Amino acid sequence: MGRTFLLLTAVCATFGYLSPVAAEQGSNSGVTYRPDVTFTLRTDIGEGKLVFVGESGTIAGKINPDLEVNPGAVVQINLVNGDGAMHDIAIPELGAKSDNITAKGAATSMVFRAVRTGTFEYLCTLPGHKAAGMFGRLIVGKPPEEAKGYVTNVAQDPRAVGEPVGTRASRHLTLNLEATEIEGQLSDKKLYKYWTFNNRVPGPLLRVKVGDTITINLHNSASSTNIHSIDFHAVTGPGGGAAVTQAAPGETKSFTFKSLHPGLFVYHCATPMVAHHIANGMYGMVLVEPEGGLPMADREFYVMQGELYTTHSHNVRGLQEFSLENLLAENPQHLVFNGTVDALTKMYTMEANTGDNVRIYFGVGGPNLTSSFHIIGEVFDKVYDQASLTSPPLTDVQTTLVPPGGATIVEFKVDYPGRYILVDHALSRMEKGLAGYLTVRGKANAEIFKP
C-alpha cells in the first residue's frame, strides 16, 4: 500500500506552528516548506509493549528515541504503521497532531516550527496506547542538566523491617529521628529536593510493642530551611505529637507517649502546609505489635506509596521542582513506592523462595490518593484490613484498598517461581513510576501453573 504523507499543522501562531500547506507532490499552489530536520518513526511491538521505533539515521532501531532539534527549526515527524493497528502521533504541549493511520505500511506526518525550548512529550493518543508504551521526548534546545549517577539515595530499603518484639515485656524506648532536606535521586535521570526523616523516604519502620512507653526525639537539621514536626497516628495526645514538636532548623523537640493500640500506623510531618511536607517525603510507619508479638514470617517487607507534585511531567529529566498548583489539583506527576521511581525495580531486591510465607507492611503516605494495592499473579491469603491486628483478617483477597494516611498488612505463601509485580490497580499510575518487583526462586510446579 502506498504511503500518503499529510503535513498537519496547527493554526496557533503563538507557538510558531505552520499554516496548512499543500502536501502532495505536484501541487500547483506553489507553497512548500522544507523541514530543517526530519524524523521517521515506525509503530511496532517491542519489549512486550507498543512502541515507536526509529527508522533511520541516529535513531535507527531505537525504541521511543529522543528527538533533538534546535530552537526555531522546522520539524517534520513521519509515522509509518508497522503493526497494522490504528495509531497517530501528537505533541499535546505544542498542539501538534497527525491523522490516524490504520493499515500496515500506511504513513502520515506532522510539521511544526520548534519555537519553544524545553522537553515535550510525543505520544500516540489512541486510548490505552500511551499506557502500553507509546511515548517519547522531543527536546528543543539544550535539555535540562541530567543527573549523573546516584547522587543521594533516599529510597527506603524494603527489607529494613526492624527486629520483632517477640514475647518481651513492655519497655521504655527512646527513638531518635532527624528531619532533613536533601537533593536525592528520583530516577536514573531525575533529581528532587526531598524532605525526609533520617534521609530516607519513607522514614524508618519503627517497631514497638503495645504497652511500651516511647520517647520521641525529633531533631531538625541545621541545614533545613523549614520548620518540621511529627504526627504519629499511634499516639493519643495533641496532634499526635505535632503540637509539641514544631522544630526550627537546628532545634530538637521531644515528647513521650504510651502505645495503647496494636496495629500498623502512619507517621508524618504536620507543619503547615501539611500536604506539602508529606508530598516531599516526610512520612513513615510504626508497627505496634500485640502481646506475644506477631507470628513468624519467612520474609517481611516494608513498602509505602507516595506522590510527588512537580512542574514538569514524569518523562522530563533533570531537577524536578515542586508545584503547588499540581498539589492543590491533586494531580501528581510521579507516583512511587519507597520514595523513588526505581526503588523496588532496580535499586533494591525483594526476594523469596517457593514455599515462603511473605508478609508486607504496606502504607500510603499520600497525601491525597487512595491505593488499590495488588500483586499481579498472587492472591493475599490474609489481609489485616486497615492494619487492625485485633480483628480477624480477611482471606483470599485479590486487591485491598488503603487510604492516604492508612495502612494494611498482607500475607501470602509463594507457590511458584517468577517475577511478581506490585502495583496500585489504578494501573495508569504505573506510567508515572508506581511499580515494584517480588522475585520468587525455586522449582516450578506444573500442577499450579503450566506455561
Angle at alpha carbon of residue 71, lines to 312 and 95, rounded to 5°? 55
Flag whether 228 is marked binding.
Answer: yes
Q: Verify that 155 and 198 share a domain, yes or no.
A: yes
- Which H or E run includes 420? strand 418-424
407 in any annotated domain? yes
Q: How many domains does the chain have?
A: 2
- What pLDDT does residue 8 have? 35
Return contacts of 121-124, CB within 8 angstroms, 24+ apart.
121/91, 121/92, 121/93, 121/313, 121/315, 122/52, 122/67, 122/77, 122/89, 122/90, 122/91, 123/89, 123/90, 123/92, 124/43, 124/50, 124/52, 124/87, 124/88, 124/89, 124/90
Can you spell out the DSSP letters for 132-163?
TT-EEEEEESSPPPPP-S-S---BPPTT----
Q: Verify that 51 and 165 share a domain, yes or no.
A: no
Instruction: Report the C-alpha gap between 46 and 338 in whole angstroms.
Output: 29
**Average pLDDT score over residue span 220-241:** 97
Q: Verify that 92 and 202 share a domain, yes or no.
A: no
In this predicted model, which residue has the larger pLDDT, 47 or 34? Answer: 34
Point out which residues pair with 409 in neighbouring strands: 361, 384
Can you spell out the DSSP letters for 44-96?
EEETTEEEEEE-SGGGTT-BS--EEE-TT-EEEEEEE-SSSS-B--EEGGGTE
Instruction: Report the C-alpha gap between 121 and 331 in whole angstroms.
Output: 17
Which domain-ending residue is among 140, 160, 182?
140
Q: Verify that 192 and 226 share a domain, yes or no.
A: yes
- Among 48-62, 173-187, 220-234, 295-309, the range scoring the smallest mean pLDDT is 48-62
pTM > 0.85: yes or no: no
Flag whether 425 is marked binding.
Answer: yes
176 to 214, 249, 253, 305: CA distances (angstroms):
11, 16, 10, 23
97 exposed, middle or buried (CB, 10 Å; 0-12, 13-18, 19+)?
A: middle
**Average pLDDT score over residue span 206-230:** 97
**Average pLDDT score over residue span 271-296:** 97
Instruction: Report the C-alpha gap between 282 and 196 in whole angstroms.
Output: 5
2 in any annotated domain? no
295 exposed, middle or buried (CB, 10 Å; 0-12, 13-18, 19+)?
A: exposed
Residue-wise pLDDT for 340-349, tens only, equals 999 999 999 9
Q: Verify that 87 and 154 share a domain, yes or no.
A: no
For the record, the C-alpha cell of 81 comes out as: 504503521
Asked if the peptide bond before residue 273 counts as cis, ω within 30 degrees of 0, the response is yes
pLDDT level of residue 13 (50, 70, 90 thresholds): very low
Candidates 304, 323, 233, 297; CA nearest to 269 is: 233
Q: What is the DSSP letter of 387?
A: G
Flag whether 334 is marked binding.
Answer: no
- Among 45-59, 147-161, 368-382, 392-406, the range scoring the smallest mean pLDDT is 147-161
Residues near 93 by Cβ (< 8 Å), separated by ≥ 6?
A: 120, 121
Flag whether 268 is marked binding.
Answer: yes
Q: Verify that 355 and 400 share a domain, yes or no.
A: yes
Q: Verify that 134 and 181 share a domain, yes or no.
A: no
Flag whether 269 is marked binding.
Answer: yes
Which domain-ending residue is among 140, 166, 193?
140
262 in any annotated domain? yes
**Percent of the chain that is helix, strand, coil (3-state, to 5):** 10, 40, 50
- What pLDDT does residue 32 have? 53
- Among 9-23, 107-121, 144-158, the range scoring the smallest mean pLDDT is 9-23
Q: Verify that 173 and 112 share a domain, yes or no.
A: no
Q: Verify that 119 and 156 share a domain, yes or no.
A: no
1 in any annotated domain? no
- Among 40-44, 310-314, 407-411, the range scoring the smallest mean pLDDT is 310-314
pLDDT level of residue 145 (50, 70, 90 thresholds): low
Q: Verify that 322 and 394 share a domain, yes or no.
A: yes
Q: Verify that 153 and 49 share a domain, yes or no.
A: no
In this predicted model, which residue has the larger pLDDT, 111 or 318? Answer: 111
- What pLDDT does residue 439 have? 96
pLDDT level of residue 416 (50, 70, 90 thresholds): very high
Which domain-ending residue is among 108, 140, 172?
140
Q: What's the whole-number average pLDDT of the chain?
A: 90
- What pLDDT does residue 9 have? 35
The count of C-alpha atoms lying within 13 angstroms of the C-alpha of 168, restricted to the half-sphere facing its C-beta, is: 15
36 in any annotated domain? yes
Which domain CATH number covers 279?
2.60.40.420
Q: Does the pLDDT at position 54 exceed 80?
A: yes
List, edge to edge, every strand of the sheet that includes 299-308: 334-337, 299-308, 357-366, 407-413, 380-384, 394-397
242 in any annotated domain? yes
Domain membership of residue 266 as a residue range? 148-451
Residue-wise pLDDT for 80-139, tens only, equals 999 999 999 999 888 899 999 999 999 999 999 998 888 899 999 998 898 788 999 999
- What pLDDT does residue 52 have? 96
219 in any annotated domain? yes
Q: Verify that 254 and 392 share a domain, yes or no.
A: yes
248 in any annotated domain? yes
